[in-house]
Amino acid sequence: MKSENVNGVKTKKKQPRTKLKSVNFTMWGYFCILAVFLIFALELVFYSVVAGTFGNQARQRVERIGKEVCLELQSDFPVNVSIFHRYAGDGVYVYIIDRFGNVVSPQAPAAEVNENVVNDLLNYLGGYGSGSEITFRSGEGINYGAKLKQRYNGYYVLVTYSLSIVKDTVGTLQLYLFIVGVVILALSFLISFLISQKITRGLKNMSDTAVELAKGDYNVKFVNADYREMAQLSDTLNHVCEEVKKSEDFQREILANVTHDLKTPLTMIKAYASMIREISGDNKEKREKHLKVIEDEADRLTGLVNDVLSVSKLQSNLDVINPKVFNLTELVYGIINKFGYLQETNGYGFMLDIDKDLYTRADEEKIKQVIYNLLGNAANYTGEDKTVYISLKQSMDGRRIKFSVRDTGKGIAEEDLSEIWNRYYRVKENHNRPVKGTGLGLNIVKVILKNHSFDFGVDSKINGGSTFWIDFPSVPSEIDIL
Ligand code: ADP
């Protein structure tokens, strides 16, 4: 059943749970239908093949006997009675009839063919030529026979056979087949019931485990090794379980980190505000110094809050890219200047290798955020020499721009390399951090660059520092375009 929602999207109407069919019952039903169909087809094939074969065999026998009797009679006439005994039996009878319709031999016809029958028969035979074959009903109305007549010296050889024998044999075989069919059907009902039970038991277990998971127990384990597909599903669900658990842990950790990181500047702001009121109020120089601390701490708070907001905005895809052509060189210099305070007060050094007036096409504000985050990380994690190397170079063919920022820090372990781009991921180590972080910075970088479809990455060695890089397209400046 299909319905249309306000957006014009076709959706399937949900059926009430009680109306849905159970997998177990459906599978069993299909198995049973298949078994009935197979057995019915088998009986049909048997009946047409076996019954036909028996009939043909009887007819061939009559034909053969007729020919053989005719051959013997050519040399041996009047007839030796033993010939009839030799061929007769199993419902087959042999007669010799003269042209007037009298049975010449044997003298006393078998009960199967009484006088009336022979007369009826001869009426028939009058209309048939040599070698013709007819089917007739005996006087008692019980037996059917197929006949063959062969002409010899004005005499006829008549061979009869009883169709009822063929019918009886086929009937007996059919009965056996029917009994076997019923037994097989009963067995297949039972086996299919057991199989469907076994398969659905696995599904039921998984569904019970999923209910536990939904209740918030992330330590549950989906176990199902009976069937490959279900084992794969179990693996996937176990993986989902681990990921949800990890994400929960990370979120808890980040909440702890953020609240911790928020507390420090707040305490500082409060402390310096009290100091201004109580101590430095009239001392302009001291007051300016204290106000500067308050300003810096407020900036740090704003940075933190912005990070958290950016991530949630980017992740919910509310953010749209607004690309335009801008001077990337100027943008990079602008950000480096923002970190000037680190150079002046903390002895940090920025080594630059930057080409002049490189233009790219991207969302300027977002790229600013990306480069800001990468430079902040480099300053955070660089080594004792407090040096950060920044490079912005155009490729030889002039079509690409490579931005890279290198530090001399401890580097990133191989197993962490792919993880650092994830939300809330922080390598568990204490760093000297002049720029406060939330574990969100690289995730913001990743989402923004992916939205732009720009190549980016990191090369890092333990104790060999890290280099984060981005590959921008190089475009002519707006002036060049005009
Ligand atoms: P954070 O705010 O913790 O710096 P990020 O998302 O920016 O969060 O980085 C995630 C993690 O990646 C960091 O906690 C740090 O362990 C690691 N990392 C990022 N940049 C570097 C770097 N330049 N050198 C070493 N480790 C880094």
Q: What CA–CA distance (Å, rounded) separates 207 from 224? A: 12
pLDDT the model gives residue 204: 85
- State which of 300, 386, 390, 427 you would mutate to test the pocket of ligand 1, scoring each by most atoms of that ligand within 8 A of its C-beta: 427
Tell whether the torsion through CA atoms of 470, 474, 477 and 481 is positive or negative. negative
Nearest CA to ligand 1 atom 8: 439
Distance 352 CA to ligand 1 centre (A): 22
Smallest CA-to-CA distance from 439 within 451, 423, 454, 463 is with 423
**CA–CA gap between residue 440 and residue 309 (Å, rounded):** 10
One-letter identity of residue 64: R
Contacts of 422 (CB under 8 A, 6+ apart): 250, 443
Question: How many Cα atoms are found within 13 Å in the side-chain-facing hemisphere of 215?
Answer: 9
Q: What's the rounded Cα separation, in Å, for the pair 359 and 398?
A: 11
Query: What pLDDT is recorded for position 468?
Result: 97
Euclidean distance between CA atoms 378 and 370, whole angstroms: 12
Q: How far apart (Å, rounded) are the C-alpha atoms in residues 407 and 461? A: 11
Task: Give CA–CA dist 149/107, Å, rounded.
Answer: 18
Cα 17 off chain centre by: 24
Q: How far apart are CA 326 and CA 342, in angstroms?
A: 27
Phi-psi region of 141 (alpha: psi -120 to 50; beta: other; left: phi over 0): left
Q: How confident is the prediction along the chain (482 residues), in pLDDT tens digits per residue?
A: 443 343 444 444 555 555 677 777 787 888 888 888 888 888 888 777 877 787 677 767 767 776 777 677 665 555 565 666 666 666 667 777 666 666 666 655 444 445 555 555 556 555 444 444 444 444 443 343 434 455 556 666 677 666 666 677 778 888 888 888 889 888 888 888 888 888 888 888 888 898 988 888 888 888 876 778 888 888 899 998 888 887 787 677 667 667 766 776 788 788 888 888 887 777 888 888 888 888 888 887 887 787 777 766 666 655 678 899 999 999 999 999 888 777 777 788 999 999 999 999 999 988 998 998 899 899 989 999 999 999 999 999 999 999 999 999 999 999 888 888 886 666 655 455 555 566 678 988 998 999 999 999 999 999 999 999 999 999 998 655 54
Distance separating alpha carbons of residues 18 and 15, to the nearest angstrom: 8
Residues in the ligand 1 pocket, defined by CB under 6 Å: 373, 377-378, 380-381, 407, 409, 412, 420, 425-427, 437-443, 466
Separation CA 239–CA 237 (nearest Å): 5
Q: What pLDDT is attached to residue 105?
A: 66
| Cα(440) to centroid(ligand 1), Å | 9
Distance of CA 60 to the CA centre of its chain: 59
- Could you tell me the distance, in angstroms and rounded to a whole number, from the CA of residue 431 to the centre of ligand 1? 10
Pocket test for ligand 1, best of 253, 258, 261, 377 (most atoms within 8 A of CB): 377
Structure tokens at 38: 């197979």
Q: Give the chain's end-to-end CA distance (angstroms, integer).
A: 57
Output the CA 435–ligand 1 centroid distance in Å: 11
DSSP H helices, 127-227, are 163-214
- My answer on whether omega of the bond before 16 falls inside 30° of 0, hence cis, is no
| Cβ atoms of 131 and 150 closer than 8 Å | yes
Q: Relative to the CA of 438, which ligand 1 atom is closest? A: 2
How close is the Cα of 304 to the center of ligand 1, in Å? Answer: 15
Give pTM, 2 decimals: 0.48
pLDDT of 140 reads 41
